[in-house]
Structures are given as structure tokens and as C-alpha cells.
Structure 1
Amino acid sequence: MGRIRKKVLGQTAYYHLMSRTVNGEALFGAREREVLRKMIWQVCDFSGVRVVTYAVMKNHFHILVEVPSEGTVVSDEEIVRRYRRLYPKPTPWQPLRAEVLAGELKRDSLEGRELRKDLLRRMHDISTLMKTLKQRFSLWFNRSRERFGPVWSERFKSVLVEGDRWALRTVAAYIDLNAVRAGLVSDPKDYRFCGYAEALAGSRIARAGLGVVDKDLAGYRQTLYRSGAAEKDGKEPISREEALRVLQEEKGKLPLAVILRCRVRYFTDGMVLGSEKFVEEHLKTMKDRGIRPRRSHPMSGADWQGLSVGTGLRKDLFG
């Protein structure tokens, strides 16, 4: 993806971000996933971006983020707090101590003004966020493994998601069900590297993130398990292959929660996701900026309650 600023009609914006390891290799054990989980919170805090939910897997990760609207004011005290979060100690790449930064900002010196400008430029920007996160993790990973070379494959993917609660809840559920789709757990609460499990474990910041999509965790769990998502009578839920058969051969719709337990390309390969009006508005702004024109497509395969996507994936819903 190219550089993506927070400018979305002057409003708070939501993005589903995803990146995969080189060649899709399962490089991450429990230790690596835990380090990446902590880095997600750290880098997003510095960026001033709220994590709605996330999932860290063996070869990729997903984050659903809320980006503040353009013009959001960040005080010098907040700049220093965020800086200290990202750089608790001086490093060869960033030797400036937080105390020195605070002094320069307070004096409003020439150096302080330049530092303020540079740090603010890096905030509220998902391209910079992902670059920082992936570079930091790659450095740690290669050093811990005594290896060199790339960790991540192509540039990250991003899907602009409408701020409507239904659209956000649907994308969040897709993310938190990653470990279920991979067969690692039967219940997302048992997978420690996702936002839902972290919220259930008592994390206030994770609970606050999911508060964006539902008023409480009980309501969100109903989204995760509605319409037969859990096992019934000791039987496994419907498989991806069975879902494809029903959709392609029988032309039938499946319960939404069942579809969410399959890998659906809408959530990773789309450009914009939300109501038809929302998608059309943002595709028009992309066209005005010279990006190849697209059009809105209603999402198929389940009752998506009016959700559309800004790219044509109707021939193959699944990845």
C-alpha cells in the first residue's frame, strides 16, 4: 500500500491492517507472538491510534485500528509521554532522551520545533505505524534468531472500514476468529494472542477497544457465536470446503458466523468496506486522486445486512 494519511472526510477513520511473513512461513512461536503483541500496543500508543482488536498468528497478524480525525491536537506533554513509550531508553537509532525532548519542547527552541514537527508527522498515520512496527519486530526477530534477511513479504494490506457499529463488529469478529479458523482453538477466548481473549483476561485497554464495536463483551460474544458458530452435538462447525460447496453448487447463503469462521477475501483484499453509500463515496475520492476507478459490490454468501466492498471479489468469496 502507498502512504495513507488519516484524511477520511475529516472524520475518525477505521482500518483493518494485515501483514504476512515472507513466503507465508510459520515463523512465530509463542514467544515471538507475545513480543509482537506487546509491540502492537506500544507502537499504536505512540502513534495515537486506538487498537479495536487484533490477532497475531504464526505467519501473519491483523489489527483493527481507530485513527483520530485530522486536526486532533496533541500537547507537548502527550508527545513526550508517547515518545517515552516508544523509546523508554536511548538507542543507537534514537539517542535522544525523553527528558531532553521535554526540555527542548518547553523552551520552544528551533530544535524543539523541528522535533515536534517530526514526531507529529509520524503520529495518526497508519503507513508510518506499520513501517515502525514491522521494522522493530524484524530487528528483534533477526537478532534473537541470529539470522538476517526479510521477515515480512509484500507491503501491508489495509481496508478502510465504515465507522458504523455493525461494519466494525463484523470485521472485529473476523479478526478474533482467526485462531478458530486455523484450528488452534475451538473458542477464541482460549487464544491468548487476540484482542477478545486479552479483554476477557482483564486488560482494560483491550476492553476499551472492543467497546467501540459492542457495549459489553457479552454482546460481542453473541456476535462471535451467533447462528451456529460453536460446536453442536459434538460436531465440528461447517468447514471451508463445505461452505464453498453450499455457496457455489447450491447457491445458498450460510449463517454469518459460519462464514466468519472461513477465510473471506473481502476482509483482506478489499479497499473499502461498509454501506454501499460509504463505499461509493470513498471510491469516488480515490478516483479523483487518479487511482484506478472501482465500484461497490454487495457482499455475498451470507446476510451481511447491507455491507458492501470496494472491489470485485464475487467470483471467489474465499481466499
Structure 2
Amino acid sequence: MKRYKVEKQTAYYHLMSRTVNGEAWFGDREREVLRKMIWQVAEFSGIRVVTYAVMKNHFHLLVDVPSGDTEVSDAELVRRYRRLYPKPTPWQPMRAEVLAKTLAEDSSDAAVIRRDLVRRMHDVSWLMKTLKQRFSLWFNRSRDRFGPLWSERFKSVLVEGDRWALRTVAAYIDLNAVRAGIVEDPKDYRFCGYGEAIGGGRMARAGLLIVDRDLAGYRQTLYGAGAGEKSEKESIDREEALRVLAEKGKLPLSVLLRCRIRYFTDGMVIGSADFVDAHVKADPTERRRPRRAHAMEGADWGDLSVGTGLRKDLFS
């Protein structure tokens, strides 16, 4: 049996995309369809979802792109293909059984098909493009509408593969529904990784085990170590947060994570200063002032830095 290597480096990304004009088009049905598509497309591409949040007008993903030299057998290609295309489609009419037979023949056609399928593995851009296109087609057909659904390509922030960095970004994502005032506890929101994991979702639980050894430990990040009182779980409004920061003060991390913070969507890179510097200094873009790591402000973020300071309009 032939095996083909997918040559990629290990990397974690926070990905986010929003609807046109921020229109709140997604009800329970739409969010459930998008949730299922996330797992479907990610499994085909070999990219692991650490956690996610599907909201009424946008979605977030924290993903793990596996390391290089990952082997993909013909049998695995067929399994992933069947996951993505359980039934023939106008743009992919070949059945999985036909694919398996073609690959087994090992002809020149089989080599072309293998190359095309492997090219789509471990590719964040392909993942987001396919996910958004698939959902757009379903959404427009279900609403008898046409035209664009998403407002932009997508936002991407590279995250260091350190547990603290991953845990902080994951918590920010899982707290989306709390931030929006939909629920008081993310465990009660079934369209996020933490809520799905608490509800028994095997893949969601496996993803969050990347950031902590158990969900109880991760919950301390969501609410602060030892948090249990309701007052510690409440959000703070934007004006109050700005007042505290203007006075050079700091907020508890569990409180600040309940604010919409541009570090997580526009910070370019999140991690230790050395990690951030290594990536932003490798950016070939010509600038008067070379990019550098900026320590994250407003809370005790540990040693986390970002690739751009965002001194103005920190809160989106």
C-alpha cells in the first residue's frame, strides 16, 4: 500500500470569520449545521480542532495543524474522502468506493487523484475556504437567497504551542456566548467546544485535553483559579474596562477574557516574546519600524506577547 507524506510544520492558529455587515443570520439550526461542518471538513484535512465557538454572526476556531512527515495511506485517504463526501455532489461526483478501486489500481489517474487529495491536507486556507463555501451553499439554498455570506477572507493569529498560550486563547473562544450575554456558563452553550465536551462530545473533549489534562483544570482558566462566587464570573462593560486601563490598572484575567479584545483576532502572533519575535521579524513586509513583540496589557497574562501593540482600540 502506498503512503504519502504531508510536509507541514506543527502550528496552532486562531481563525475567525464574520458575516457580511455582522448580520445575525444564524439561529440554532444554522449554528448546528455549521458546527457539524467544522468537524467534517477538519477531519478530512487532518487538522485537529482544539476548540471552537459558533455565534449568530461569526465563528472562531482554534486548530492544531500536525507536524511534518505525517503519513497518509490510501485507506486513510478513502476514509477521509467518505467523511467529506458521504454522497456524490455536482462538484465531486466520484463515490468513495470508486476512489478506493482507482487508488488500488495505482494508475497514472490514481497518482493525480492522490496528489490532489494530499495537497488539501493540513492546509488552514483550504480548511477555511471549503468550510465557508460549503456553509454558504447550504445557507443560500435553505433561504432561497444568493450573494456573499461572509464579509472577508478570514482572520488568522498564530499561537505558540505552549499550554498557557493555548489555554488562554481557548478560554477566550469558549467564553464567546458568555461575552454576548447568551449564557452565564459556557457549559450551557452547545455551539462551543467546552459546551460540547461537557455534553459528552468525544472529539471536543479530546481537543480541549491539548490545553489541559482535564476539563476541571481548564475550567479554572475560564473562571480564575478557585473561582466560584457569581461576582467573579460576571462580565465588565467596555467603559469600565477602559477606565481601569486608562488609570494603568489591571483587571482579573477571568474578567478581561469576558471583553472583546483585539489581541486575539488582530494580534498576528500570540505567545512568549521570543516566539513572537521569531515570527514577526521573519515577516518580509517592508516597514519603517520593524515589528517586535509587545507584552499584552490590562491583566496578568503571564509572559504572553503579541505581534502588534494595538495601543488604540484594544477592545473591539
CA distance in 1, matches of 2:144, 2:28: 18
> Counterpart of 1:132?
130
Equivalent position SS for 1:117: helix
Letter in 2 for 1:273: I
> Counterpart of 1:70?
68
For residue 228 of structure 1, report the CA deviation from its aligned partner: 8.7
For residue 251 of structure 1, report the CA deviation from its aligned partner: 1.4
Letter in 2 for 1:309: V
Letter in 1 for 2:278: E
1:202 to 195, 200, 204: 200
**Contact 1:300 / 1:314 at 8 angstroms: preserved in 2?**
no
**Contact 1:300 / 1:317 at 8 angstroms: preserved in 2?**
no
2:83 to 73, 82, 85: 85
TM-score scaled to structure 1, two decimals?
Answer: 0.93
**Contact 2:233 / 2:255 at 8 angstroms: preserved in 1?**
no
**Contact 2:235 / 2:259 at 8 angstroms: preserved in 1?**
no
1:286-310, CA deviations, whole angstroms, 9 ceiling, x for partnerless residues?
A: 23xx465522111101111010001
> Counterpart of 1:123?
121
The Cα RMSD (Å) is 1.8
CA distance in 1, matches of 2:177, 2:228: 14
> Counterpart of 1:262?
259
Distance 1:216 1:140, change over 3 A: same
Letter in 1 for 2:172: Y
Query: Which runs of 5 or more structure 2 residues have no equivalent in the other structure?
Result: 1-5
Letter in 2 for 1:311: T
**Contact 1:228 / 1:257 at 8 angstroms: preserved in 2?**
no
Distance 1:252 1:88, change over 3 A: same
> Counterpart of 1:3?
none
Identity %: 77
Equivalent position SS for 2:25: coil
For residue 315 of structure 1, report the CA deviation from its aligned partner: 2.7
For residue 175 of structure 1, report the CA deviation from its aligned partner: 0.1
1:112-162, CA deviations, whole angstroms, 9 ceiling, x for partnerless residues?
A: 100000011011000000000000000000000000000000110000000
> Counterpart of 2:3?
none
> Counterpart of 1:174?
172
**Contact 2:31 / 2:56 at 8 angstroms: preserved in 1?**
yes
Alignment of 1:165-244 (within 5 A): 165-226=163-224, 232=230, 236-244=234-242
**Contact 1:227 / 1:258 at 8 angstroms: preserved in 2?**
no
Distance 1:69 1:181, change over 3 A: same
Are 1:302 and 2:304 matched, yes or no? no
1:59-101, CA deviations, whole angstroms, 9 ceiling, x for partnerless residues?
A: 0000000001123111111111000000001111100111111
Distance 1:134 1:230, change over 3 A: farther
Q: Tell which deviates more after alignment, 164-173 or 71-80.
A: 71-80
CA distance in 1, matches of 2:101, 2:234: 60
1:52 to 39, 50, 53: 50
For residue 285 of structure 1, report the CA deviation from its aligned partner: 2.4
> Counterpart of 2:19?
21
Letter in 2 for 1:77: A
CA distance in 1, matches of 2:221, 2:104: 48
Equivalent position SS for 1:202: coil
Query: Which runs of 5 or more structure 1 residues have no equivalent in the other structure?
Result: 1-5
Equivalent position SS for 1:311: coil
Distance 1:234 1:102, change over 3 A: closer
Letter in 1 for 2:165: A
Equivalent position SS for 1:286: coil
Distance 1:186 1:108, change over 3 A: same
> Counterpart of 1:41?
39
CA distance in 2, matches of 1:134, 1:241: 34
Letter in 1 for 2:26: F
**Contact 1:227 / 1:255 at 8 angstroms: preserved in 2?**
no
Distance 1:235 1:310, change over 3 A: closer
Letter in 2 for 1:95: P
1:18-58, CA deviations, whole angstroms, 9 ceiling, x for partnerless residues?
A: 00000000010000000000000000000100000000000
> Counterpart of 1:156?
154
Aligned length in residues: 309
Are 1:273 and 2:270 matched, yes or no? yes
CA distance in 1, matches of 2:56, 2:286: 33
Q: Tell which deviates more after alignment, 191-200 or 309-318.
A: 309-318
For residue 108 of structure 1, report the CA deviation from its aligned partner: 1.2
CA distance in 2, matches of 1:308, 1:234: 25
Letter in 2 for 1:220: Y
CA distance in 2, matches of 1:291, 1:203: 46
Letter in 2 for 1:134: K
